[in-house]
Structure 1
Amino acid sequence: MKGSRPISREVSASLSHHILPNAGTMIGVCVTLVGLVKIVELQIGHSHVDEYAALTALLFLVSALTSYLSMRLAAESQHAARLERIADLCFVAGLLALVGITTLFAYETI
């Protein structure tokens, strides 16, 4: 295709450098959510929000680990690119899950 440029590994490598710290931050958000829900459950009764938030934290953990491993591997490695793609997909899935969980919790559905 004329005019289109392939994505360089240099641009892609910077993605892992952004995913890793943000995934760590999002793990902290999920852990905080679990703690707050445990406190609120005393007043509103049992809900599954804490369980879903813990599962979402695992998605962010997979994202952080694969992002870290992709940075540790050689830049030209196919494995590094694949790990970075997994990190990206897990991070976005975790964000979507967290938004879904908080929306359902806000409307007291779960």
Structure 2
Amino acid sequence: MDKKPVELSRHILPVASTMVGVCVTVISVIQLAPDKAISSWADKLLAVDSLAFMASTMLSYWSIRHKDHLQRIERYADRLFLLGMALMVFVSFLVAFELFTD
């Protein structure tokens, strides 16, 4: 039984591009929150996070269009996506502690 290689980029592309929109939306929501030290850090971190997701989106698209370097480009897209997700979780903890602690 031959296994067809899984094209990870076809999964990363729509999710990473959606996460760019989520980052921009959260930046807008953070701007509505009262000014505190962490909220200024959170929007800057989310801006960097949106760049990581955008780079992951572009690499995923590139690997779909150019099959010659599929594995290497997919690996970079996957790593950037995971970095973006980790950064988003970190920022969400910062915002949650800011909002729910006295």
Q: Which amino acid is 2:66 matched to?
A: L
> CA shift at 1:28, angstroms?
0.7
Q: Percent identity?
A: 39
Q: Is 1:104–2:94 an aligned residue pair?
A: yes
Q: CA deviation at 1:45?
A: 3.5
Q: CA RMSD in A?
A: 1.7
Return the offset for 1:68: 0.3
CA distance 1:92–1:64, change in 2 (3 Å):
same
**Structure 1: stretches of 5+ with no match in the other structure:** 1-7
Q: Name the structure 1 match of 2:84.
A: 94
Which residue identity is paired with 1:10? P
Structure 2 unpaired stretches of 5+: none
Residue 39 (structure 2) pairs with residue 44 (structure 1):
no
Q: Which letter does structure 2 place at the counterpart of 1:22?
A: V
2:54 alignment partner AA: L
Correspondences of 1:3-14 after superposition (within 5 Å): 10-11=5-6, 13=7
More helix by share: 2
TM-score by length of 2: 0.85
TM-score normalised by structure 1 residue count: 0.79
Q: Which residue of 2 aligns with 1:70?
A: 63
Residue of 16, 24, 28 corresponding to 1:31: 24
User: Is the radius of gyration larger for structure 1 or structure 2?
Assistant: 1
Moved over 2 A (4+): 43-47
In the aligned structure 1, how far is the partner of 2:72 from the partner of 2:19? 22
The count of corresponding residues between Structure 1 and Structure 2 is 95
